[in-house]
A and B are shown apart, each in its own frame.
Chain A
């Protein structure tokens, strides 16, 4: 079933919408939840909460693309759950990825006072636009989906060392872009 039809089911308050969403995007939600949460039970609960959140928010929302909307919902719920469980350091890759991002800030440097995350996000999007398809996949998987090296390896078919070196190069390039735009000072 295509995304438009699923949204129409939600708009008509048809419970079939939940079934169809679970069928099409359940696995994606589980994947995201697993990246943030330690236990399978928590991940499963996160999927159910995501489906409930979709039921409550469509309508009024009519998201396009639906997959990004569901991913964002699942990610936010997984983050809240992981914070609630005090499992920030135990589950998934959250701490590792956060450390990697912060490593882009050279010692004694920080973000310019007037810059908000959203503005820095715009520079990151411009940077992603310039990447090749495979680089973009690795970058987004790591820094938005918070995927582990192993999971990226399985998704892309690259070796672990190639992924590590590719990410290191991309971080260095992005740090330069951020400095050029005056975001890192």
Chain B
């Protein structure tokens, strides 16, 4: 009998966990991660193109210094303009246009007030997500309880997240929501992201693919739910998902070929 064999007996011992515990845990699972996979889209060709473009621009600018100065001035003035727009606070709600009006032909859109409410809820959702994904160093501090450690970690995550509010939760950000419609009591939207990686999620046999830093979600009564959660919780029915999928197929550019 060699040492390895003895070791393996400890691993095997875990197979003798009582079926009542296995059943208890198995029946309590929500199973929302089943078959949700992320795909990485190769970006090598794109990077080469970007580098070539950058080198080309630099050559052009270095050859024509006066033109370069002029371009620099223009770029600076544009950047200043963008900055002021991006940091502008929402003062007059009526100034904001409808959200991305993809169903404008059907006269289906959200009001500005509704969109601002959704944006506020989305902010809360993002804060919560940052907290959940962050490393909680307080948990190793023996002098405070686990609840306090969690509370402190949440505060830290909120403080850190709120530093970037001026860059995100403004008019420009709001216009990047893509609106799919109202299904049951849920408003279904996606916040567009940059198309460098795909996330793919299967809900009730329908496959939705979109940029991985975008989130497809449902809004209901001041709360944001991931689309798959909303379906599993019964907020969206199979028919709703089918209708969302029709619109996704018709309008979404992120569909995988």
Contacts and interface: CB of A to CB of B under 8 A. Distances in A.
A11 interface: no
B147 to A, nearest CB: 11
B239 interface: no
Q: Is the interface of A mostly helix, strand, loop or mixed?
A: helix
B133 interface: yes
Contacts of B26: 28, 67-68, 71, 145
A162 to B, nearest CB: 6
B232 to A, nearest CB: 10
Interface stretch (A50-58, A83-91, A114-122): A114-122
Interface string B200-243: 00000000000000000000000000000000000000000000
A140 B21 contact: yes
A136 B21 contact: yes
A105 B32 CA distance: 34
Contacts of B25: 136-137, 140-141, 144-145
Instruction: Name which of A98, A105, A144 has the most chain B CB atoms within 10 A of its CB.
Output: A144
B15 interface: yes
Given A136-B25, A154-B32, A117 B153 contact: no
Nearest to B25: A140
Contacts of A117: 9-10, 12-13, 15-16
Interface in B117-156: 131-137, 139-140, 146, 150, 153
A101 B13 CA distance: 10
B20 A110 contact: no
A141 B17 CA distance: 11
B37 A65 contact: no
B157 to A, nearest CB: 10
B29 to A, nearest CB: 6
Interface string A130-166: 0000001100110111000011011101011110010
Contacts of A28: 26, 29, 31
Contact of B135 (A113, A128, A161): A161
Contacts of B20: 65, 68
A39 to B, nearest CB: 10
Contact of A124 (B13, B131, B153): B13
Interface residues of B, number: 44
A159 B132 CA distance: 5
B16 A159 contact: no
Interface residues of A, number: 48
Contacts of B32: 154
A9 interface: no
Given A28-B29, A30-B35, 19 more contacts: A28-B26, A31-B29, A34-B34, A34-B35, A40-B37, A65-B23, A67-B26, A68-B20, A102-B11, A104-B10, A113-B1, A117-B12, A117-B13, A117-B15, A121-B15, A122-B16, A124-B14, A145-B26, A159-B132
Interface of A: 27-28, 30-31, 34, 40, 65, 67-69, 71-72, 98, 101-102, 104-105, 110-111, 113, 115-118, 120-122, 124-125, 128, 136-137, 140-141, 143-145, 150-151, 153-155, 157, 159-162, 165
The 10 closest A-B pairs by CB, nearest first: A121-B16, A68-B19, A120-B13, A117-B12, A65-B23, A68-B23, A161-B136, A68-B22, A110-B6, A117-B13
